[in-house]
Structures are given as C-alpha cells and as structure tokens.
Chain A
Amino acid sequence: MEHRPVSEELRTPQPPAGGSIKDDLYEPVIGLEIHVQLATATKMFCGCELSFGEPPNTRTCPVCLGLPGSLPVVNARAVHFGLMIGLALGSKLAPRSIFHRKNYFYPDLPKGYQISQYDEPLCLGGRLQDVRIHRVHLEEDAAKLIHVGSSGRIHGSDASIVDFNRGGTPLAEIVTEPDVRSAEQASVWLKLLRVTLRQLGVSDVNMDEGSLRCDANISLRPAGSNQLGVKTELKNMNSFRFIERGIRAEIARQQKILTGGGQVVQETLHFDPASGAITSLRSKEEAHDYRYFPEPDLLPVAIDEQMLAAARAAMTELPAERAERLQRALGLSAESAQQLAFRAELGDYFEAALAAGAAPAPPPQALANWITGELAARLSDGDGDADAGAGGDPSLSRVQPSALAGLVGFVAAKRVSVGAARQVLDKLIAEGGEPLAIIDAEGLAAMDGGDELAEIVAAALAANEDAAARVREGNAKAIGPIVGHVMRETKGRADGTEVARLVHEQLGT
C-alpha cells in the first residue's frame, strides 16, 4: 500500500528461480511490503500495554479508541527499534522524519485515519542480501474486526464487532525494491529478514499471531525487458507457505492472462489459502484517496546523536554477519554457515557445542553437519517453515551441546562409526546422558581393524560369493551386500572404510 516511484531500471536483473515459469516467456517482478509488530512495552501513541490475547477491549484508552479530544504521543522505544532495523538493513537514517495522517473510513480505524509516515520516513534505502530496501517507516496497527455469521468477511456477515486491543500497536513497515524474481526467493528472503529481526530483538516475528505480515506487489514482463508490467497487490499473507503459494498462484494467473493476449488489471487481491483462490478486494478505480497530510498533533521526529548511539549500542551480530564470521573464522562451507546463522537457535547451539571443550575436539564442519543434518532432522516438528518451535530448537532437547560435541569428536577420531553414532544420538535425544556411557553400555565402540574384523570380512565374502566374484571382475558397486553383511554382524560398530579396505585386501583387488 506504499506510494513510491518504481525504479524502471533494476540494478541486477536476476534469472527466475527454477520451476516458477516453465517457458521463461515472462519474468516475474516482485516487491514486498512487510509489517512488523514491534515488541515495545506500550502502544505506538499511548500508554496502553500491548495485548497478548487479553479479553477484548481491555487494553484501551481514550487515545487508542480515538475518543474526542485525545492526542497521540510518539513511543520513543518504537523509534529506537525503527533505527535498529534501519541500521541492520544499512538504510540511511533520516535526521528528521514526519508522521502523516492516512485518511480512510473503516471500523477498525478509530480516528478515521492511520498515523503513518509518507514522504519523509524514518529510514531510506538499504539492502538485505540480494534484495534492496526502499524504505522503513513507523505506523500504528489497526484494531481487529470479527465478522459474525457465515462468510467470515464483512460482506454477508450478520454483525461485525471490533476489538481495539491490537489498535495502536507499533508497526515498522519495511518496503523492498522490486528485486524479487520468484515465490521461492521471496520465501527464502523473508526467512532471512525474520531471523534478522528476531536477532535484533525488535519483534516476536510470529506469523501465526500476526506480528509479521507480508504483502506482495507482483507484475510480469517479457523476459529480457526492463519495462515493468501492470502490478497487482496480494494482501496480508501470514505464513511462508501461503506467501509462496500465493505468489506462485498470482504469477500463474497473470501469465495465463498475458499468454492469452489479455491485460492484467491493477487491483488489490486476496489469496485464500484454503481454496487457493485469488479474489479482488478493490480495483484501481476503487482505490482510496488517502489525503495524506502532516499529522498536526505531532512534531517531526528529530534523531539526535544520543538516539543514534543508543541504537548502535543495542545492535547484536546479525545473521548475515554471523554467516560471514563462521565461514571465515571456522572454515565452514558457505551453506553450513548460512544454515547456522539463519537459524539462530542452531547457530547458538553450534557455538555452545564448539566451546564445550570436548576431547577429542570435533572438527567444526563435521559438528555443523551433525547439527544441521542429523540433529535438526530428528528434532524437526515437521513444519517446513523451520519455525523455532520447541521441536526445532536443540537447546530445548535432552542433547547437551557438550554431549553432541563429544560424539562428533569420537566419530572424527574413528572411535565410533557413523552408524553407531546415529544410534547414540537417538539415545541422547530419548534419554539424554553422555555419549561415552551410551557407547560403553551398548557396546557400540568401533572395532579396530584387527583380526576379529578380518575374520568377519572373510565370513562375509564366503557368504556372498556372487558379489565377491563381481567385485573381482571390477564392479565396484557390488561391494554393497558384502559391507552390509559385515555391518549386520558388527551391529554397525565397524568402520565402513576399513571394511572396504579389508574386502579389497582379501580379494586381492
């Protein structure tokens, strides 16, 4: 819903991500508008505490109810959080910004206008990885409308009731440049934005509860063109899955129109995740004239050195910086570094495990692999959103960071095989404890490459004569059943590499 000049020329045209458009005739151009509820103690313009599911209309006062005579006062903490977001995104922080009134009538808007920022926002420009930021501004949230009756929408409902608890909650609106080229890219980038905001501590960034909401401006243009097509605005998607599905559905809809020789109509759309349908909320002709003008009840926000210093002092290491550090200082692969940094709970766990002083010490890359792979997979609650619910956060599991570090150290020192280590991890997740104790109790210590293993290999060759013959003939893949036999016999304690070596030794290949 932001009015902004759309830059005609994009800095780096990016190829569409795989799968979004089959014939590559059209290239999607997507800009995102993200509303973030700020985790302040009180509302944007009054002293009411923020509401977390209290009974309706219990967190209200004359100001957030828009009663006659009431006046707004800016929440300094919201400005502080806004500056932190600007710093994190590399924005230019405006020394002076202005609140405007955005006028329209709706029952969830008690004053008949929303206090927002217009042409002089708090933060201008910036970038988060591959997407440029247009601006960040502060505003107040609307109240919550509940439509009673069959439809659940205002049309056709029997009655609509208003809960003003949410009204006036501070919001930061982050507007990107139209740099996104696919639904997948949008989803990945939003996840990075979310973890960045969470790391800053400025928001709960919980999409289910609406503390992070996203609109997408979507247009298509012939591949290779730098002209922008007619855009539509897809409103208020509240999960990563819906965002991805919604954008994909809208791209498909526009593509169908364009390939059929039609024209896309500029309008505001609603994506229904249940049916997958896209419906029009209003067309350009019905668009509001918001009659923006400077809010006369507030003075301009003047940012002084003290406020800037406070915002800088409150900055923590951001995910992108953390990824860079993990890669540089510990030699992690770019992918692992990013996985750990973008899921702060995994990164924190990784760094705790590394610092646990396990002997033998786990190699960082192996430790990272175990955390992002084996451990994360076992703890996942199956939510593809990778939300840091209890299921996804290893610090909430029974596996102590020191225990995992110890286990990975043993694997690296070949004191336990990978297969056996997986069994130990299962045990750690179920019961907790120390890896060494489990290894001893279960008899999972790696077999050394001595006579015992050689005998088991010889027995395995005898039991798999066909396979042995094929290996002898040079078919490397045929070794599988022989190794499998050994592993069964040793309950996984044998080292796979050592087994393969002994097979070849005994076969003389």
Chain B
Amino acid sequence: MAISFVVNGEKKTVDVPPMSRLLDVLRDDLHLTGTKEGCGEGECGSCSVLMNGELVNSCLVPALQAEGATICTIEGMSKNGEMSPIQKKFLECGAAQCGICTPGMVLAAHHLLQKYPSPTMEQIREGLAGNLCRCTGYQRIFEAVAECGKEQSELIATSGAK
C-alpha cells in the first residue's frame, strides 16, 4: 500500500505492506540507516525517531500509522553535515562510545530538551530511561544533556528537528 509522510522535511511516498515496521521502511526503503535496531521489541530505544514531535520506537510503529506524519530521524538533526548543539555536546562530553545507541539517544535528548529546556538531573534520568546504553554508564550522556540545558537552551529551537 502507498504511504506518504514527511521525513526530515521531505515528503516521501513508499509502497510497503501496511504492517511493515517503520524502522524497516526508514532503513530499507528510504536508506536512512542512522536509525538502528537493537532489540526489535521497544526496550532499547536504538530505533527512536520523532513522530509528530513525540519520541517513538520505530520498531513498534506499523508503517500504516505513519501515514501523514512528520518524522525526524538522526539524519534530520544536522544540517549539511553540521552537528547540532546536542550532537556537539555529545562529542565533547564523551557521550558516544560505540555509537550504536547514539542516534536514538540524541533524539531522546532533543525531545527531553524540548520538553524541559533546563532539565533537572531527575528529569534527565527519567527522560532518557527508554534508551539503553551499554558503554557509558550514562554519566557522560547526563553531562552532555545537562550542559545543553544550561548553556544552549536558546539554540535548541533551531537545532534542525522541526
């Protein structure tokens, strides 16, 4: 079935079975491989994307449900290869180690900072709890998000995801 939605600002139409996972549509049909599969059951958050501004696990979203939606993936977080403020902070603070959870984590951090421009540590812990990271023990990620909140809350509105 033909499904149309906006991904990273571009209108796309794909012809896929209605129950295809949004994750597979993004990766296989649209070649947006920045979105990763970690568990396939909505536990790890590696496949997180923003759908109509909400953080979703794209492995749990049937393609059908994305009809007419506005989706932002990690590829939409940067502009012309320029890192967003969150991505810069992730790099500087050492928040990315192996990098596999990073795309989902960056989107979760973005979502959190939209909701709470200057999040408390408790809000950060809660807000990222749907995204698992096995490398960092989360401390560098907390720092990256907290610094974003402290220094750059005004820049978040222009960080790429609309």
Q: Is this pair of chains taken from one and the same complex?
A: no
